[in-house]
Structure 1
Amino acid sequence: MQNKRKKIASGQVSFQIDSTSIYLFGVASDVGVTGTSTEANIGELIDSIGPEQPSKKKKHSISKVEIVPVNLVLKTTKDMLSDKLVKTAVKMMTTQRKPSFCISMPLRVDTLAMIHRNTKLSELYTVLVEAACRSLKLLEYVLLEQLGQEGIGDGAGLRLPEIFHFLPPELGHFITRVVPKGIPDESMESERRSLHEQLSLPLDRPMFRRGNAYPSKSGKLINPHEAIPPQPIKPDVTVALVRGRY
């Protein structure tokens, strides 16, 4: 896992803005940003890929969260310089004979970064690299925690970690949880309660259950009343107050 973080931090990755031809490259690249102007900011990008094309500048709510999906692209080829270094380096091998085991599993790197709409695309690469490294660190922590449990020291029964992002209205910012796959929410109640207490959140609602994770591309219709214009109250209409998403 540490090698993966080093590879990401060394500039061997690029980021592609989903559904666009915009790519972000590291400082070692002479390009930096392709597919759009280097002076463009996130707000302009969101407005350009949105379904509506407003003719005049509109106001944006501070509390509104706008999601921009980004894909991480890992570099598979080597630079010419690195090939020369490998060919000219002195070959040396050190071996240690001791019992060991190797665990191979697919890990989904799901991370997020909160930035202002005025942030330039040219400044986004560093932010995304740091976010990806933090996500790998969280995954590593959960895996090591499982390996320390009784009966999983050799990797048998190791569960894939799953990443969930939450946005409690009372908090105002995201919280990311990484939990082993397949563990029921009921068995993690004490952990969630402790998280509520640390963040001074009410204990009457399970805000950090899997089902309350922030929806990204679920395709589900959530809070449909927000898209309906206000209607005059009629005598035969019942008004109800709903708190939260439905």
Structure 2
Amino acid sequence: MVVDTHPFDSSIILRVKGPLEFKCLFDKTDALNIQKVISKTFEALCCSIKSESCVFTLCDGPVVIWPNKDVHISPEDITPNTPCQELSQWTKISEQESLHKKSTKKKTKKCSGNTVVNLQLMMETTRPGAPHSAQVPVFTQTVQTSHFGSMTLPIDCAVCVSLGETIQNACLHLVEELSNQINEMKRVTLQHLKGTSILVPEPLHFLLPHPHGLVTVVYPAGVLDSQLQTARQALHQKYDLPNDTPYFRRANAYHFPNEPYRDGYLRNPHLWLTHPTLENGKVYLVQGLYSYHHYMQDRIDDNGWGCAYRSLQTICSWFQQQGYVDRSVPSHKEIQQALVDVGDKQASFVGSRQWIGSIEVQAVLNELLGVTSKILFVSQGSELASKGRELASHFITEGTPVMIGGGVLAHTILGVAWSETTGEIRYLILDPHYTGAEDLQLITEKGWCGWKGPEFWDQTAYYNLCLPQRPKVI
């Protein structure tokens, strides 16, 4: 079966996050002196990461680890030779998470993915056993003219280790990666330095194709992706990646499975479904992330007329979340205005409740996103059963959601299960006509996102399928 597999199914991610305070004084403001002071400050932070004062604490758990103190660990039940997978057992699961798991446990297949153990980076300010006098603060006053530089470094380090890896070995790996990240932050900071103005270096994680896995890249905060193309090109060369697909735009950053999405939309509900079994059949799916857009969201009552708009929004979210475009998902009015701008509709169309179809979806994608689309015409619904090869080819080569419109209905096709020998076919449908809350269990159990047979389509109605094409960009 041609399906996405997660590279971390037999491993665990240890993620360390925490602020490091970057503070330095510039006695002189010439470029050479500023660079020297910044370099020394980063080097001091790197030394602190390797010192005995460095501490990892388990988020929502009682475990405290001193990675450079012969891997001293508290509580005593855990030893340096304890497998990393046991750390997750010490994490306290919130009551809300427990209730969610209980409600979705019954019939919903859990989405495949890896375990993430979150650790907090902390630094001890005093050392146990130090003389009492050493802990007494001493104040001195020096009068001089200088510039003070200060920022908070958002340390975010993630390493993937096997489930059986010992905590001791994993901590050695983490300390090494933390040191590498600080050195990379130094390089990026110096590269984008303008006088005494310092840009905060921002670490981002990207999941690359096999064999690379999860890699971390540091970008200067506030610098647009369009201004970082040279850096991205260098990364593509470093990891031997094609230059026609964006891998290192901020929108491509890896989303850790234990982090919620702030916008409230569900992502990829199809991953919770069981694939249909067909004789000699294969499954061909949408590639990457999308948001589920449907009736009644965004405080807009579009019940009965907005299904194609919602399908278009789902497609736009795919291009946004794969890093092909920077713009947000367009609203109904923005979609209507785009059709007016290209001359397809009259000005009175903006603010109306009029339907749109596949041809309009194609026009809007081109106008707002610069995305071209192919249109597949089907004279009657019964012919859709013979379009397995075309749809399979689309999901292999392009991997984008497909909008299908016929009569007064529009749906989103996320994949097909198709047998080349028997011709049997099933369609993975994301239905924009849903009007309820973002309830994953309800949506998957009631078929709002589900596998449908050829009888799902009106056998006598004509259909147009809009197949968006990937842009060839870095």
User: What is the CA–CA distance in structure 2 between the aligned matches of 1:73 and 1:18, rounded to whole Å?
Assistant: 12
SS, match of residue 40 in structure 1? coil
1:196 matched residue in structure 2: 236
SS, match of residue 112 in structure 1? strand
User: What is the CA–CA distance in structure 2 between the aligned matches of 1:35 and 1:242, rounded to whole Å?
Assistant: 47
Change (3 A) 1:145 1:73: same
Give 1:145 shift.
Answer: 1.4
Structure 2 gaps, min length 5 = 1-41, 102-111, 137-141, 291-474
TM-score (norm 2): 0.41
1:229 matched residue in structure 2: 274
RMSD: 3.3
**Aligned partners of 1:185 and 1:209 also within 8 Å:** yes
Residue 117 (structure 1) aligned with residue 163 (structure 2) = yes
2:37 matched residue in structure 1: none
CA radius of gyration, larger in = 2
Change (3 A) 1:222 1:178: same
Q: 1:37 aligns with which of 62, 75, 78?
A: 78
**Aligned partners of 2:56 and 2:67 also within 8 Å:** no
User: What is the CA–CA distance in structure 1 between the aligned matches of 2:254 and 2:59, rounded to whole Å?
Assistant: 19
Residue 67 (structure 1) aligned with residue 116 (structure 2) = yes
Change (3 A) 1:227 1:36: farther
Give 1:68 shift.
Answer: 1.4
Letter in 1 for 2:120: N
**Aligned partners of 1:162 and 1:178 also within 8 Å:** yes
**Aligned partners of 1:41 and 1:121 also within 8 Å:** yes
**Aligned partners of 1:24 and 1:122 also within 8 Å:** no
Give 1:244 shift.
Answer: 2.2
TM-score (norm 1): 0.74
Change (3 A) 1:124 1:170: closer
Q: More displaced, 10-19 or 28-37?
A: 28-37
2:34 matched residue in structure 1: none
2:301 matched residue in structure 1: none
User: What is the CA–CA distance in structure 1 between the aligned matches of 2:71 and 2:206, rounded to whole Å?
Assistant: 37
Give 1:231 shift.
Answer: 4.4
2:285 matched residue in structure 1: 241
**Aligned partners of 2:205 and 2:214 also within 8 Å:** yes
Give 1:45 shift.
Answer: 3.0
**Aligned partners of 1:33 and 1:121 also within 8 Å:** no
Q: Where in structure 2 are the equivalents of 1:79-228 lying within 5 Å?
A: 79-81=128-130, 101-147=147-193, 152-153=194-195, 155-156=196-197, 158-216=198-256, 217-220=258-261, 221-228=266-273
Change (3 A) 1:135 1:232: same
**Aligned partners of 2:67 and 2:168 also within 8 Å:** no
SS, match of residue 16 in structure 1? strand
1:6 matched residue in structure 2: 47
User: What is the CA–CA distance in structure 2 between the aligned matches of 1:197 and 1:30, rounded to whole Å?
Assistant: 37
Structure (1/2) with the larger strand percentage: 2
**Aligned partners of 2:84 and 2:166 also within 8 Å:** yes
